[in-house]
């Protein structure tokens, strides 16, 4: 018999192949789904714990944490030790990655986890020595304050240990391939020093001024020196003054790091009790700089407000008897010194005709996937040598930095006392320990008192002009001799006008006994706040919220009429005439839906470019923190019939205004089309709140920046502060927290924390306040009847 041959049908063959492909596809889908579920489960494991029970062996007694509907944790403990342990644990649970990056940035230790890209930044912070200053500060703290720091660190470490054991650290640690190390009290103090860095610098302006005098003749150079416009308001009036009571490698604090705050007496409020408002202006990102919390213990502490992640206590807010807020004072607390180096010994510097040996500090920098860098910091008697970061200024010159924040200081002790203060006297007593950064404190209390104090460690300059330039380091007469006595710092209590407001503007009249600063914010924000508060009575919480969201642009109100008058006889194109007509019909609000703020802001940008581009190197312009103020001063000179050298060299004010308007309109037409009436400020001016890892890839940006950019009004000079990157229009700086309280009900505060409370991108409180930030929707936080999810932190049995 022959062998039977079986033939495969083409149809069967196709079916077989299809079945195999479907099986493979199914396997891939299942594998992908499994991977998704695994990753999803891993990510969700690191979500903040808001309910149930957690055992913490470090606690003495049970602690209750109620997370309200806005994500605010209300921590209730029997004693202070348990309270601060719980605060450390809860902060870490919500913001551990942020805390880790903060301590590493301030300590100059980012290279260890990021790699070579962070080396120059690490060198800068190692040179400044914020961590060294924090270590010195730790040595002067009281035992009670050290206990608070240690208790807080104990709570943070309890979280770290638990998260490592449960494999539940935030996903950012997994993406970057490292785990957090043990938290220490010095880490918290170092973060505090970083905030002094962010709010207390002006050495770059001294370096820029020095550059100007070496590059231009004196008259031309001095025209760009900082100046406050004449006859514009100071915070304290004469009659109110109360005396008794390569630079890209450095990090330059934002020139608009400031704030608004004000307090209104009961004589001008609907409740008959003081109103207080505060909105600190800092960088806008995810997570927020601030974490809102409420702390309560059986020993009498009951305080609510915000704190920097990584620091115990409440730095801004209220207790059940008083409330307070701050803005940046901006005094001259940094001084550059020109040092003479011994040609025969690079580690010696001249002082009073003798060579002194500098301290050489070893600061080895570990680099991820690289070799440890042997780095040394040189410190003269004045401070660290920072020449390598001073661009053209430091090229042939040894520059050292004297700075109050590098001294030992006791801000945490001040915070602890402020949190428990019951009246102005107790609060002011606590302020004596708050040395850096210097801040404008406003205060309100249940007893009806309103008060203000410009607080901090402010050097005495016999001549304020000395603070404009580097000084000769070899002459003892140039050393700081002393600081303004605490009892003589500018202060006012219960002024007759019924309110006190600050917006980083000039503090005291020229008759004040001491020099404070040469650089003040332009007065526009303050003038608008003063305008509103002077014009009304029966103010309410809602009125204060509306003022914080006020978009009135007094810079435009001042200059637009002058621009129109100047160009009145110029030969203008139809496009330019249309732009001027739009501006003439403007009510000077920086409304996101209007074209006028878009035109005006771009016009001002182009004026700056017309004056400075190609004349001052970009590296040096990065040091020019008062660039926009200098333009305003030039325009005022021209308006008042006086001569400006810089305007004159560019063809005069009419030529500058016409050329810059033309350039601005051409750019806007290219970006937004020819229909000028259809342009809007919000097309360009938008807020994003970016996560630090979102710039690594579009994939990470999709997850971490899970909200689209939102058009927003305001500008850098409106009470609703919304400063932006002029190249992109992205709003990256503004009111990082908004707060209003009526002393008639000290248990209720009204807040906005943009973009939200939590640092975990899956949390419901991650970006839930982005739209609130744009629209001015405040949430009420009460101290007397917190409701929400309940978590019990239990000592182990």
Task: Please report where in the chains the tokens 């404070």 appear, as a residue.
Answer: 516
Task: Please report where in the chains the tokens 């990090």 appear, as a residue.
Answer: 251
Domain with CATH 1.10.1400.10 in the chain: 554-588+595-679
Task: Please report where in the chains the tokens 């919390």 appear, as a residue.
Answer: 293
In the three-class reduction of DSSP (H, G, I as helix; E, B as strand; rest coil), residue 475 is classed as: coil
pLDDT score at 24: 53
User: Looking at the predicted structure, is the pLDDT value of residue 15 above 80?
Assistant: no
pLDDT score at 254: 63
Question: Mean pLDDT across the chain, nearest whole number?
Answer: 91
Strand-pairing partners, residue 292, are 306
pLDDT score at 463: 81
Residue 644 φ then ψ, to 5°: -120, 125
What is the maximum alpha-carbon separation in the chain? Answer: 127
Determine the CATH number of domain 30-553+589-594+680-797.
Answer: 3.60.20.10
* pLDDT class of 23 with cuts at 50, 70, 90: low
pLDDT score at 4: 40
pLDDT score at 278: 98
Q: Is residue 392 marked as binding?
A: no
Contact criterion met (CB below 8 Å) for 201 and 330: no
State mean pLDDT over 558-570.
96
Phi-psi region of 63 (alpha: psi -120 to 50; beta: other; left: phi over 0): beta
Q: What is the pTM of this model?
A: 0.92
**Tens digits of residue pLDDT in 638-685:** 999 999 999 999 999 999 999 999 999 999 999 999 999 999 999 999
User: Looking at the predicted structure, is the pLDDT value of residue 283 above 70?
Assistant: yes
State mean pLDDT over 137-162.
98
Q: Is 259 a catalytic residue?
A: yes
* pLDDT class of 235 with cuts at 50, 70, 90: low
Tell me the two tokens of residue 721.
């502060």
Cα separation, 749 vs 739, whole angstroms? 7
Phi-psi region of 58 (alpha: psi -120 to 50; beta: other; left: phi over 0): alpha
Task: Tell me whether residue 193 is exposed, middle or buried, using C-beta atoms within 10 angstroms of its C-beta: 0 to 12, 13 to 18, 19 or more.
Answer: buried
E strands of 615-763, at which residues? 686-687, 710-711, 722-724, 730-735, 737-742, 748-753
**Tens digits of residue pLDDT in 608-618:** 999 999 999 98
State mean pLDDT over 73-84.
98
Contact criterion met (CB below 8 Å) for 473 and 400: yes
pLDDT score at 696: 84
Determine the CATH number of domain 554-588+595-679.
Answer: 1.10.1400.10
Contact criterion met (CB below 8 Å) for 221 and 213: yes
Helix, strand, coil fractions of the chain, as percent rounded to 5: 40, 20, 40
State mean pLDDT over 399-426.
97
Burial annotation 359-389 (CB, 10 A radius, 16+ → b, else e): eeeebebebbeeeebebebbbbbbbbbbbbb
Which DSSP string do the residues of 510-522 spell out, in sequence order? TTSSS---S----
List the one residue out of 673, 333, 788 whose CA is nearest residue 516.
333
pLDDT score at 703: 84
Task: Please report where in the chains the tokens 């303050």 appear, as a residue.
Answer: 526
State mean pLDDT over 764-784.
97
pLDDT score at 198: 83
Cα separation, 438 vs 428, whole angstroms? 14
Task: Please report where in the chains the tokens 């406003």 appear, as a residue.
Answer: 442
State mean pLDDT over 698-719.
91
pLDDT score at 3: 40
Contact criterion met (CB below 8 Å) for 550 and 720: yes
Contact criterion met (CB below 8 Å) for 633 and 232: no
Contact criterion met (CB below 8 Å) for 548 and 639: no
Question: Active site residue: 145, 259, 625, 716, which one?
Answer: 259
Question: Is the torsion defined by CA of 643, 649, 652, 654 positive or negative?
Answer: negative
* pLDDT class of 455 with cuts at 50, 70, 90: very high
Contact residues for 95 (Cβ-Cβ < 8 A; gap 6+): 287, 291, 309, 310, 758, 759
State mean pLDDT over 110-131.
96
Residue 168: how many other CB atoms lie within 10 Å = 17
Domain with CATH 3.60.20.10 in the chain: 30-553+589-594+680-797
pLDDT score at 1: 41
List the one residue out of 754, 695, 759, 766 whose CA is nearest residue 722.
754
Tell me, what DSSP letter sits at residue 108?
A: T
Tell me the two tokens of residue 18.
């299809």
Cα separation, 31 vs 75, whole angstroms? 43
**Tens digits of residue pLDDT in 467-517:** 899 999 999 999 998 999 999 999 999 999 999 999 999 999 889 999 999
Instruction: Give percent above pLDDT 70 in the chain.
Output: 90
């Amino acid at each position: 018999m022959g062998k039977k041959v079986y033939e495969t049908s083409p149809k069967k063959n196709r079916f077989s192949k299809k079945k195999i492909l479907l099986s493979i596809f199914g396997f891939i889908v299942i594998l992908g789904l499994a991977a998704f579920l695994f990753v999803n489960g891993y990510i969700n494991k690191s979500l903040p714990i808001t309910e149930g029970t957690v055992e913490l062996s470090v606690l003495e007694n049970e602690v209750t944490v109620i997370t309200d509907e806005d994500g605010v944790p209300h921590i209730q403990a029997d004693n202070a030790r348990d309270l601060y342990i719980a605060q450390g644990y809860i902060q870490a649970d919500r913001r551990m990655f942020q805390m880790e990056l903060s301590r590493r940035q301030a300590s100059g230790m980012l290279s260890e986890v990021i790699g070579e890209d962070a080396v120059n930044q690490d060198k800068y912070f190692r040179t400044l020595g914020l961590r060294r200053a924090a270590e010195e500060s730790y040595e002067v703290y009281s035992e009670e304050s050290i206990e608070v720091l240690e208790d807080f660190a104990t709570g943070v470490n309890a979280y770290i240990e638990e998260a490592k054991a449960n494999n539940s650290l935030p996903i950012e640690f997994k993406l970057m391939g490292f785990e957090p190390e043990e938290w220490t009290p010095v880490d918290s103090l170092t973060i505090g020093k970083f905030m002094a860095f962010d709010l207390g610098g002006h050495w770059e302006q001294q370096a820029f001024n020095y550059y100007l005098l070496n590059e231009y003749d004196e008259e031309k150079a001095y025209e760009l020196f900082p100046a406050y416009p004449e006859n514009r308001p100071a915070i304290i009036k004469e009659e109110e003054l109360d005396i008794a009571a390569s630079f890209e490698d450095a990090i330059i604090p934002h020139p608009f790091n400031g704030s608004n705050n004000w307090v209104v007496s009961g004589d001008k409020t609907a409740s008959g009790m003081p109103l207080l408002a505060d909105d600190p202006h800092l960088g806008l990102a995810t997570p927020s700089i601030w974490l809102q919390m409420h702390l309560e213990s059986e020993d009498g502490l009951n305080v609510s407000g915000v704190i920097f992640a990584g620091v115990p206590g409440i730095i801004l807010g209220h207790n059940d008897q008083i409330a307070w807020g701050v803005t940046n004072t901006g005094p001259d607390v940094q001084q550059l010194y020109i040092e003479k180096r011994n040609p025969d010994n690079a580690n010696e510097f001249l002082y009073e005709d003798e060579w002194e040996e500098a301290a050489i500090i070893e600061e080895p920098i570990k680099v991820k996937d690289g070799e440890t860098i042997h780095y040394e910091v040189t410190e003269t008697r004045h401070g660290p040598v920072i020449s390598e970061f001073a661009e053209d200024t430091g090229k042939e010159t040894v520059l050292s930095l004297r700075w109050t924040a590098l001294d030992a200081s006791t801000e945490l002790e001040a915070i602890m006392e402020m949190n428990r203060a019951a009246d102005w006297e107790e609060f002011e007593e606590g302020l004596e320990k708050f040395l850096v950064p210097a801040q404008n404190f406003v205060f309100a209390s249940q007893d009806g008192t309103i008060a203000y104090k410009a607080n901090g460690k402010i050097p005495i300059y016999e001549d304020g002009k000395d603070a404009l330039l580097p000084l000769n380091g070899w002459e003892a007469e140039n050393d700081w001799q002393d600081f303004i006595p605490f009892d003589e710092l500018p202060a006012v209590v219960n002024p007759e006008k019924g309110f006190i407001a600050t917006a980083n503007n000039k503090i005291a009249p020229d008759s004040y006994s001491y020099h404070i600063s040469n650089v003040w914010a332009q007065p526009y924000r303050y003038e608008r706040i003063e305008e509103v508060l002077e014009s009304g009575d029966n103010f309410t919480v809602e009125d204060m919220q509306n003022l914080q969201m006020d978009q009135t642009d007094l810079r435009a109100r001042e200059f637009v009429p002058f621009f129109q008058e100047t160009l009145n006889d110029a030969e203008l194109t139809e496009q330019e005439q249309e732009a001027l007509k739009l501006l003439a019909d403007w009510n000077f609000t920086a409304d996101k839906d209007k074209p006028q703020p878009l035109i005006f802001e771009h016009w001002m940008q182009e004026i700056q470019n017309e004056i400075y581009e190609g004349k001052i190197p970009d590296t040096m312009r990065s040091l020019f923190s008062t660039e926009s103020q200098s333009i305003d001063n030039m325009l005022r000179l021209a308006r008042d019939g006086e001569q400006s050298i810089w305007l004159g060299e560019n063809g005069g004010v009419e030529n500058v205004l016409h050329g810059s308007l033309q350039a601005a309109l051409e750019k806007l037409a290219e970006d937004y089309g020819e229909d000028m009436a259809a342009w809007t400020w919000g097309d360009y001016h938008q807020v994003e709140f970016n996560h630090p890892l979102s710039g690594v890839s579009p994939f990470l940006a999709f997850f971490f920046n899970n909200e689209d950019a939102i058009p927003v009004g305001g500008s850098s000079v409106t009470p609703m502060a919304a400063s932006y990157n002029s190249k992109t229009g992205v709003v990256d700086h503004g009111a990082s927290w908004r707060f209003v309280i009526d002393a008639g009900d000290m248990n209720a505060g009204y807040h906005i924390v943009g973009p939200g409370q939590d640092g975990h991108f899956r949390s419901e409180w991650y970006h839930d306040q982005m739209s609130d930030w744009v629209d001015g929707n405040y949430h009420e936080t009460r101290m007397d009847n917190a409701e929400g999810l309940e978590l019990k932190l239990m000592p182990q049995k």
